[in-house]
Amino acid sequence: MFEKNKNDKKPIIQTSGYNGSEPTRTCPHCGKDKPLSDFGYRKMNKDTDEVRNQSWCKKCR
Ligand SMILES: [Zn+2]
């Protein structure tokens, strides 16, 4: 698990692997391992700039 830090504005990224050039993540919808660039990001909270990756890949969305 990640340690929580109130002042940490780094994106919260959930990954499951690494394909040699970027982290990968399994899409819960299609079940495929895809690079994070296939998921995209969304800003969760405009006050804290918290950023998370999307849970589904672009194709499933
Ligand atoms: Zn998918």
pTM for the full model?
Answer: 0.63
Please tell me the distance between residue 48's alpha carbon and the centre of ligand 1 in angstroms: 28
39 and 57 Cβ atoms separated by less than 8 Å: yes
Dump pLDDT digits (tens) for 22-52.
Answer: 889 999 999 999 998 898 888 877 888 888 8
The pLDDT value given to residue 23: 87
Q: Return the structure tokens found at 46.
A: 């405009």
Q: Is the pLDDT of residue 5 over 60?
A: no
CA dihedral (2, 15, 51, 54) positive or negative:
negative
Please tell me the distance between residue 5's alpha carbon and the centre of ligand 1 in angstroms: 30
Q: Return the structure tokens found at 59.
A: 């194709």
Q: Is the pLDDT of residue 60 over 70?
A: yes
* Chain centroid offset of residue 61 CA: 14
Q: Where on the phi/psi map is residue 31: left (φ > 0), alpha (ψ -120 to 50), or beta?
A: left
